Amino acid sequence: MTTETSPPDYGASRAALLAGPGPAGRPRRAALARLTDDWLAGLLAAGGPPGGPPGVALVAVGGYGRGELSPRSDLDVLLLHDGRLDPDLPERIWYPVWDAGAALDHSVRTVAEARSVAAADLKAQLGLLDARHLAGDQALTAALRSAVLTDWRASAPARLPELRDLGRERAERHGELSFLLEPDLKEARGGLRDAVALNAVAATWLADAPRDGLDAAALRLADVRDALHLATGRATERLGLQDQDQVAERLGVLDADTLLRQVYEAARTIAYASDVTWRAVDRVLAARSGRGRRAARLAFPFTGAGRGAGAVARGTVARRPLAEGVVEQDGEAVLAQGARPAADPVLPLRAAAAAAQNGLTVSYATVRRLAAECRPLPVPWPDEAREQLVTLLGAGEAAVPVWEALEAEGLVTRLLPDWERVRCRPQRNAVHRWTVDRHLVETAVRAAAMTRRVARPDLLLVAALLHDIGKGWPGDHSEAGEVIVRDVAARMGFGPEDTETLAVLVRHHLTLVDTATRRDPDDPATVEAITKVVGTAAQLELLHVLTEADALATGPAAWSGWRASLVDGLAARVAARLAGAYAAPVEAAPTAAQERLAVEAARTGGPALSLLAQSEGADPGAEPMGVELTLAVPDRPGLLGTVAGVLALHRLAVRSAGLRELDPIGAGPVLLLSWRVAAEFGELPEAARLRADLRRALDGSLDVARRLAERDAAAPRRRGIPTPPPVVAVAPAVASATATVLEVRAHDAPGLLHRIGRALDGAGVRVRTAHVSTLGAEAVDSFYLTDGAGRPLAAGRAGEVVAAVRAALG
């Protein structure tokens, strides 16, 4: 059904517009909205008066009402009437829309009904705030807009807290857009929905958001959403990993990482504007309720010398002194009346430190003024500047909103120019939950809770803030970071000795945990490797705490009771070595329980095992660190791969493995395997069932490889992400003087250790110990290998083993 004002084929016109060479972004969204406006106006007028039936108006609401229509957005349309509606009219409009394949969100109401629905449903009210006339009776639409705005402003004191709660609920469900690898562009914190909420707050006339960069940020997210709709052909808001390259290409962006950085920057702008706005709303509502006046009467005046950094302002607004040039006002840190930012380059850090230490943030106006008026710090920094930075970082969690405020106005990159390379930089690793810059801040937050454990908390906090600063440069980020931190430390005014300590901490911030989880702690070479890195007990103390803070700030997969125990044990050995009290450990004699298992295995010719939770016997409430599986089996070829396969069948993840040989009754060698395992899902299997399956696997009646292959084939196929090929290599000879250390890094998968074990068994080498760890989706395993005589492998033999394992991993 068409008229002179209605395009003959809306679907074809729409497709041509989206596929055409015309401008993208806001102009295309506006053109798509105009095309849709004309079409819907034609549908309203079809078969009747040119302007549509009397007493009826067609109104766009929500995103469509704002005149920006994304390629796959719903059409939010209200058929407004004065009570004299032809009952057939709605169907004459809606059915052609459905026939065209457009997604339609529609309603039919009078002005009174629309106001009633809005009063009961906040989301409906927000949509009506953007009402825009399409066709029909303009006076009716104007009456609706006027009434809705009047109602919104009248109900703002009650409605704004509800709107803020909606935002918090969305943030809890969808997370923070600026830290997600697959963000929801609309619903996550800092997304398009928050930008709409800020406009709704502005419409109350009670508060407004800081506008610098806000419109550009919302436009950037809308452009990305457009490209996502066109790339996927779906009305999706989630920027999935598999779509990011296509979206970047459509937008003319260098690559997916650059795209994410732009998305994160836009999201942070919106999120920061939201924080500032909601604090302003709180102040206004508190003043209206009288709480602000009561707080002012309870505040005390500043009686310092001169005009006073904390002089009380005129009227009822009270100020409390925090630091030189900084006072508290309305729950924020602001500049005192006598502050002179142009003559005080330390003032930004002093204000930030004072705010964080008092659990406040720095007001928006104050940060803006500091950014505009303060001169850069001299080089090297004055002692006070360095002390204020450490004070800020030492505030822990309270430092985060303060840091965000400084960063929003460019003060962080002014203090630390190298920060620009890590700002908003994504980390495409499932272990990491933050961008690089936020991870650095979070590491400092974690370190702030551990400062009592070190003699130099200032070095700990600065190292925490800078330990990954090299990730913005090519090559190994630890090596690049060492170069950067030497320069930064000198600019901050640290002396040569402290600068050297910071360089060691940044260069080796991964060394302690890597060595503890991938090397044999009983091998003297392991302790020697760390001793060469840290020359003093003070450096070891700092590195130990930095290691823990870094891991805790990375994500839950990066730290556990097991890793903590390994790092603590290695640190204790190195500390003893530095103190001259270290003696290389001698292999302990088997325990009575181990001897009993070995005797049982030798007598029966089959496996004997025990399962023991490692937290048993510890203090109540101790964190379980897995289960110790001790297995005694008469020696035979293919043992490691077979046992690993059975554990994989029972969905047991192996954390570490050790092996020793016993001859308890003189009847031949029995291998004693000590495995630390954890159940991937649910509870541990029964020991009797595990023993039975081991026995069947060892006598050949259970084909472990076939069972694992069948389980993998039966599992539902899911779209995965591209993963790099596995890396198999021999560690340098200094890793161990008594064994060849084979390192395997691969994407974790069920049966991975089984495949590696079968390859090692097939190569005829002996596995003395194995150190297995999984970080998120990545496995990092080390195997100490010897030949049959217990010696390290010859170079040629080691190369053959490497080739065999590579082949097994495909």
- Structure confidence by residue, pLDDT tens digits, 312-364: 333 445 788 999 999 999 899 999 999 999 999 999 999 999 999 999 999 99
**Contacts for 393 with CB less than 8 Å, ≥ 6 apart:** 399, 444, 447, 448, 461, 462, 464, 465
CA-CA distance, 130 to 126, in Å (whole number)? 7
Structure tokens at 571: 């640190």
The whole-chain average pLDDT of the chain stands at: 87
Residue 730: its H or E element: strand 727-730
Least confident of 297-301, 378-382, 617-621: 297-301
Phi, psi of 670 (to 5 degrees): -120, 130
DSSP conformational letter for 396: G
Report residue 99 CA to chain centroid gap. Answer: 43
Contact assessment for residue 45 and residue 5, using Cβ atoms and an 8 Å cutoff: yes
Please state, in angstroms and rounded to a whole number, the distance separating the CA atoms of residues 574 and 533: 10
Identify the H or E element spanning 438.
Answer: helix 436-448
pLDDT tens, residue by residue, 433-484 = 899 999 999 999 999 999 988 989 999 999 999 999 999 899 999 999 999 9
Cα 664 from Cα 651, distance rounded (Å): 31
CB-count exposure of residue 735 (10 Å: 0-12, 13-18, 19+): buried
Q: Which amino acid is at 295?
A: A
* Least confident span in 67-81, 105-119, 258-272, 776-790: 776-790
Per-residue b or e along 581-603, where b marks 16 or more CB atoms closer than 10 Å to that residue's CB: ebeeeeeeebeeebeebbbbbbe
How many residues are there in the chain?
Answer: 810
pLDDT at 345: 96
Residues 795/800/803/805 CA torsion (nearest 10 deg) = -100
- C-alpha 674/C-alpha 670 separation (Å) is 13
Task: Using DSSP bridges, classify how beta strands 104-110 and 75-81 pair: parallel, antiparallel or unpaired.
Answer: parallel
374-399 average pLDDT score: 94
Q: What is the pLDDT of residue 127?
A: 94
Of the candidates 511, 507, 623, which has an alpha carbon nearest to the alpha carbon of residue 561?
623
Phi, psi of 133, rounded to the nearest 5 degrees: -70, 135
pTM: 0.79
Hey, how many other C-beta atoms are within 10 angstroms of the C-beta on 714?
A: 7
Burial state string for 280-313 with b = 16 or more CB within 10 A and e = fewer than 16: bbbbbbbbeeeebeebbeebeebeeeeebbbbbe
Q: Convert the pLDDT of each residue in 51-109 to its tens digit.
A: 778 899 999 999 999 988 999 999 999 999 999 888 999 999 999 999 888 889 999 99
Indicate the pLDDT class of residue 613, thresholds 50, 70 and 90. low
Residue 329: C-alpha distances to residues 35, 148, 313, 789 (Å): 51, 35, 10, 76
SS3 400: helix
